[in-house]
């Protein structure tokens, strides 16, 4: 049994390597009964500034896992910082024991800092990384990936920056330009359903945003960007093994 959260398909692709039919966290987070039992249970999601996405943290707080082996696979682009160590600490405080936490380096899809064309051109040896993680999980290896002092410092710096400037990681940054043609894809890929179409154009509700950038990355017109910056407004990214329909099925809120 594997659960996942994805915005551009990286984590969905990884989740499918561990289970052919992984379960989308956005599709079950609203259920009252979140009790799961299996021989092993995995969770796959991206790292956002050294931490799991808010929706994944909510899931960890609400769910009960009855298993002898709970593992967590993170996907990331530039730096995994001290994300495994941080996750281990906060889950222990929640009374959740994770036996194995591993990270896999993939395309960094944070548009304000990275050019998607440049990222896609880098060979990050994803298959080799996956092979290691798959073998570890099969053997039920128990290991929390260690962090360096530099990694902890990087996470602390990012956390302080976002605490002082919350607008950097919330929906205030999301902008719909005049290139929007009202196709509604953003409303279908948003994991918390904050987009709607009115009068032939998409709008964002004034509510908390995961800032996962699924809306921007999946917009066919490239009509969604952020006020921070856009390293390359003409380049967007979806994992080559994942389709837009896959992301809609994972995230659409009805």
Q: Which of 104, 4, 98 is nearest to 56 (CA)?
A: 4
> Are both 40 and 153 inside the same structural domain?
yes
Q: Please report, in tens digits, the pLDDT of each residue of the chain (254 residues total).
A: 999 999 999 999 999 999 999 999 999 999 999 999 999 999 999 999 889 999 999 999 999 999 999 999 999 998 899 999 999 999 999 999 999 999 999 999 999 999 999 999 999 999 999 999 999 999 999 999 888 888 888 888 887 877 777 666 667 789 999 999 999 999 999 999 999 999 999 999 877 889 999 999 999 999 999 888 899 999 999 999 999 999 999 999 97
Compute the Cα dihedral for 100, 129, 120, 241 and give only its sign: negative
Q: Measured between alpha carbons, how far is 206 from 164 in angstroms, rounded to an integer?
A: 20
> Are both 234 and 177 inside the same structural domain?
yes
**Of the residues 162, 188, 221, which one is the last residue of a structural domain?**
162
Q: Facing residues of 101 across strands?
A: 72, 144
Question: Domain span at residue 218?
Answer: 167-251
> In terms of DSSP bridges, do strands 224-226 and 174-176 run parallel, antiparallel, or are they unpaired?
antiparallel
Q: Are 14 and 130 in contact (CB under 8 A)?
A: yes
**Of the residues 162, 188, 222, which one is the last residue of a structural domain?**
162
> Are both 100 and 14 inside the same structural domain?
yes
> Are both 11 and 113 inside the same structural domain?
yes
What CATH number does the domain containing 237 carry?
3.30.70.20
> Are both 102 and 172 inside the same structural domain?
no
Q: Are 236 and 219 in contact (CB under 8 A)?
A: yes
> Are both 183 and 125 inside the same structural domain?
no
Helix, strand, or coil (residue 222) = coil
**Of the residues 162, 192, 207, which one is the last residue of a structural domain?**
162
Helix, strand, or coil (residue 37) = strand
Please give the structure tokens belonging to residue 219. Answer: 């917009």
> Are both 180 and 124 inside the same structural domain?
no
H and E: helices and strands count for the chain? 10, 12
- Give residue 27's pLDDT: 97
pTM: 0.94
Helix, strand, or coil (residue 85) = helix
Q: Are 194 and 86 in contact (CB under 8 A)?
A: no
> Are both 83 and 125 inside the same structural domain?
yes
- Give residue 29's pLDDT: 96
Per the structure, the count of domains in the chain is: 2
Q: Measured between alpha carbons, how far is 40 from 42 in angstroms, rounded to an integer?
A: 7
> Are both 220 and 95 inside the same structural domain?
no
What CATH number does the domain containing 144 carry?
3.40.50.360
> Are both 13 and 91 inside the same structural domain?
yes
- Cβ atoms < 10 Å from Cβ of 124: 14
> Are both 130 and 151 inside the same structural domain?
yes
In the block, residue with structure tokens 């920056």: 161
> Are both 195 and 77 inside the same structural domain?
no
């Amino acid at each position: 049994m594997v659960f996942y959260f994805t915005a551009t398909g990286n984590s969905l692709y990884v989740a499918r390597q561990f289970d052919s039919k992984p379960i989308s966290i956005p599709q079950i987070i609203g259920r009252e009964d979140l009790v799961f039992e299996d021989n092993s249970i995995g969770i796959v999601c991206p790292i956002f500034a050294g931490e799991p996405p808010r929706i994944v943290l909510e899931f960890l707080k609400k769910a009960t896992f009855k298993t002898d082996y709970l593992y967590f696979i993170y996907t990331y682009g530039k730096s995994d910082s001290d994300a495994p160590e941080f996750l281990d600490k906060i889950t222990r405080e929640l009374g959740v024991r994770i036996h194995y936490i591993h990270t896999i380096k993939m395309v960094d899809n944070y548009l304000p800092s990275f050019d998607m064309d440049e990222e896609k051109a880098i060979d990050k040896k994803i298959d080799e990384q996956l092979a290691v993680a798959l073998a570890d999980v099969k053997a039920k290896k128990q290991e929390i990936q260690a962090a360096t002092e530099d990694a902890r410092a990087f996470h602390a710096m990012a956390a302080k920056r976002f605490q002082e400037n919350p607008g950097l990681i919330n929906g205030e940054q999301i902008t719909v330009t005049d290139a929007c043609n009202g196709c509604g894809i953003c409303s279908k890929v948003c994991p918390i359903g904050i987009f709607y179409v009115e009068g032939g154009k998409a709008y964002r509700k004034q509510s908390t945003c995961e800032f996962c950038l699924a809306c921007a990355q999946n917009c066919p017109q490239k009509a969604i960007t952020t006020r921070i910056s856009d390293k390359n407004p003409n380049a967007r990214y979806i994992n080559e093994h994942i389709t837009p329909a896959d992301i809609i099925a994972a995230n659409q809120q009805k």
